[in-house]
Amino acid sequence: MISQTPGEPLPHQAVLYHEIIHALQPYPGGIYVDATLGAGGHAWGILQASHPGGRLLGMDLDPQALDLARQRLAPFGSHVTISQASYTTLSNQLSQLGWEGVNGIVLDLGISSMQVDTAARGFSFAADAPLDMRFDPQNPVSAADLVNHLPEQELANLIYRYGEERRSRQIARAIVTARPVHSTQRLAEIILKAYGAERRKSHIHPATRTFQALRIEVNQELENLQSVLPQAVAALLPRGRLAVISFHSLEDRIVKHYFQHESRDCICPPRQPICTCGHQALIKVLTRSPLRPTEQEIARNPRARSALLRIAEKLPVPSAGGK
């Protein structure tokens, strides 16, 4: 078993770490994918549990995170393959490796603590920085592009749809009036003014939902999630498991509905007397309700508070004589 170097600080606290390892049940010689590698926290645990002989593909868009992951996972040598790529390319990545199926996949969605804490990335208004918010620095669209160039109505719709912000119209109008806006704290100030006296009634900072909406749009997070889920299920071997951690209702709703859809044999309308869809269940859902962090984990890592974990298992291929 490969262990962490004594005294070496962990660069990133992997959310729901023990729950992910328990969910995937890695075993020696198994093949796994961490499609949101980050600094390698979950991957390290998976590789350790599948040692000797286990293999893992780690994918991420963030070059800063990948540098940390390479250092952290170096003891596993050729058993780990690291790729700077979006998880939307999962099928292609596995094809290039010649892997016809895997035993487990983890998706830890959203933004990492490292990205939030790196002020220059522009994900947070805690410190002043350029409005960026790109997971991949090569992405041609930044948050500043959206804030300064979207028509007011489109900006309001974006803030409402992805931030679930009831004051989206007031905020969009205030932003357009104040253009150009290029820094995180300037944007936060504009949103505070748009809230007016109502900001005292908000349990979170008034800018939080708007920043979330911009980040989701910049990185196409919901569209990418909808793209990767079918690829992940298709890549799993029978009894292989998919574990997905989400951090807000928009992500969790997509995962929940996809799992429900693909765990049913029939998707015909409920009142239709005879099944005509021919749909067969691909997965079994192992989490009736999402798993949440323990109070102990939240005390260690308050940002884990909103994490939701759903797990599904690939069903065996029906036999020729079966239903």
214 and 123 in a common domain: yes
If phi over 0 gives left and psi between -120 and 50 gives alpha, with beta otherwise, what is residue 110? left
Residue 60 CA to residue 87 CA, distance in Å, equals 7
For residue 22, name the pLDDT band (cuts at 50, 70, 90). very high
For residue 2, name the pLDDT band (cuts at 50, 70, 90). low
In this predicted structure, the answer to whether residue 13 has a pLDDT above a threshold of 80 is no
In a domain, 256, yes or no: yes
In a domain, 229, yes or no: yes
Task: Report residue 19 CA to chain centroid gap.
Answer: 16
229 and 147 in a common domain: no
Please, how many CA atoms are within 13 Å of residue 209, restricted to the half-sphere of its CB?
25
186 and 242 in a common domain: no
Residue 246 CA to residue 60 CA, distance in Å, equals 16
In a domain, 129, yes or no: yes
CATH number reported for the structural domain that contains residue 286 in this entry: 3.40.50.150
- Residue labelled with tokens 């947070």: 124
305 and 268 in a common domain: yes
In a domain, 209, yes or no: yes
For residues 229 and 236, is the Cβ–Cβ distance under 8 A? no
DSSP per-residue string spanning 237-268: EEEEEEEEEE-SHHHHHHHHHHHHHHT-S--S
CA distances from 37 to 32, 111, 133, 315 (A): 12, 12, 18, 26
Closest by Cα among 99, 85, 195 to 136: 85
pLDDT, residue 5, reads 38
In this predicted structure, the answer to whether residue 20 has a pLDDT above a threshold of 80 is yes
pLDDT, residue 162, reads 97
Residue 179 CA to residue 150 CA, distance in Å, equals 11
Q: Can you tell me the mean pLDDT for 268-292?
A: 89
For residues 93 and 185, is the Cβ–Cβ distance under 8 A? no
260 and 186 in a common domain: no
Closest by Cα among 81, 102, 107, 84 to 234: 102
DSSP state at residue 167 = T
For residue 285, name the pLDDT band (cuts at 50, 70, 90). very high
For residue 117, name the pLDDT band (cuts at 50, 70, 90). low
Q: Which residues pair with 308 in a beta bridge?
A: 246
Residue 52 CA to residue 79 CA, distance in Å, equals 9
In a domain, 322, yes or no: no
273 and 227 in a common domain: yes
234 and 97 in a common domain: yes
| Angle (CA) 62 63 66, round 5° | 90
- And the tokens for 72? 């952290």
Q: What is the mean pLDDT of the chain?
A: 91
In a domain, 4, yes or no: no
pLDDT, residue 124, reads 86
225 and 101 in a common domain: yes
171 and 36 in a common domain: no
Q: What is the pLDDT of residues 28-59, one digit of tens each?
A: 999 999 999 999 999 999 999 999 999 999 99
In this predicted structure, the answer to whether residue 23 has a pLDDT above a threshold of 80 is yes
CATH number reported for the structural domain that contains residue 172 in this entry: 1.10.150.170
Q: In this structure, what are the phi and psi dihedrals at residue 87, rounded to the nearest 5 degrees?
A: -65, -10
pLDDT, residue 277, reads 82
For residues 68 and 40, is the Cβ–Cβ distance under 8 A? yes
In a domain, 69, yes or no: yes
pTM, to two decimals: 0.90
Residue type, 99: W
* Longest CA pairwise span in the chain (Å): 68
Q: What is the pLDDT of residues 70-89, one digit of tens each?
A: 999 999 999 999 999 999 99
Q: What is the pLDDT of residues 192-243, one digit of tens each?
A: 999 987 766 667 899 999 999 999 999 999 999 999 999 999 999 999 999 9
- And the tokens for 318? 């029906």
244 and 291 in a common domain: yes
- Counting the structural domains of the chain, the total is 2
Closest by Cα among 102, 107, 115 to 224: 107
Query: Could you tell me what percent of the chain has a pLDDT over 70?
Result: 91
Residue 284 CA to residue 294 CA, distance in Å, equals 25
Coil/strand/helix, residue 195: helix
Beta carbons within 10 angstroms of residue 215's beta carbon:
22
In this predicted structure, the answer to whether residue 94 has a pLDDT above a threshold of 50 is yes
Decide which of 219, 236, 263 is a domain's last residue: 219
Q: Can you tell me the mean pLDDT for 155-181?
A: 97
Decide which of 168, 194, 219 is a domain's last residue: 219
Among 120-124, 161-165, 223-227, name the one with the lowest average pLDDT. Answer: 120-124
96 and 227 in a common domain: yes
Q: Starting at the earlier edge strand, list the strands of the sheet with 80-84.
A: 80-84, 55-60, 31-34, 102-108, 236-246, 308-314, 283-285
In a domain, 170, yes or no: yes
In this predicted structure, the answer to whether residue 4 has a pLDDT above a threshold of 60 is no
144 and 67 in a common domain: no
Decide which of 219, 251, 266 is a domain's last residue: 219
Q: Can you tell me the mean pLDDT for 238-258?
A: 97
In this predicted structure, the answer to whether residue 9 has a pLDDT above a threshold of 60 is no
What is the domain extent for residue 198? Answer: 119-219
